[in-house]
Amino acid sequence: MKVFKELTIVTPNKPGTLGAVLRAIAGAKINLIAIDSSSGYDLNMVRLVTSDPGHTKRALERIEYQVTEADVLGVAILDKPGLLAQITSALGKAKVNINYVYATAAAQGQEAMVIFQLSDLAKGMRALKAAKLG
């Protein structure tokens, strides 16, 4: 379990736009840890967790995106039935709201990274530690 800096940009919902964003990150030699891209018709909200958020922010600003930052919780989980249900239940029991969640893909038996944006990050971390889930 680790706190990450998540960067968010809003892009036009047009072919090639996400590719240009990801090329800028790749060109800066930054590792992408997790991504979420959601369309709102004419616009996309792109959330990124990278190995170097400061460098990523500068790379995105160079291609003229306004970047917002938020702290999120990354939880590494194994490909195991019910584990995500246990995590989300522990957060709910602790009265921590999950504002949104997204995850990396994992091959069978491998680890995935689940990214949580929580109403109370510290309380959420305590709840997962107490439940031996983080």
Average pLDDT by stretches of 10, the chain with 134 residues: 97 95 96 91 94 97 97 91 93 97 81 94 96 86
CATH of the domain at 12: 3.30.2130.10
Residue 91 and residue 123 in one domain: yes
Which residues constitute the domain of residue 64?
2-70
Tell me what pLDDT residue 79 has. 78
Total count of domains within the chain: 2
Tell me what pLDDT residue 81 has. 83
Residue 118 and residue 59 in one domain: no
Domain stops at, among 20, 45, 70:
70
Give the torsion through C-alpha atoms of 91, 96, 102, 106, to 10 deg.
-20
Residue 9 and residue 51 in one domain: yes
Nearest to 106, CA basis, from 78, 72, 75, 86: 78
Residue 16 and residue 65 in one domain: yes
Domain stops at, among 47, 70, 93:
70
Tell me what pLDDT residue 80 has. 80
Tell me what pLDDT residue 105 has. 75
Residue 82 and residue 126 in one domain: yes
Residue 25 and residue 66 in one domain: yes
Residue with tokens 């960067």: 7
Residue 61 and residue 10 in one domain: yes
Tell me what pLDDT residue 78 has. 85
- Residue 114 DSSP SS3: strand
Tell me what pLDDT residue 110 has. 78
Residue 120 and residue 101 in one domain: yes
Residue 7 and residue 60 in one domain: yes
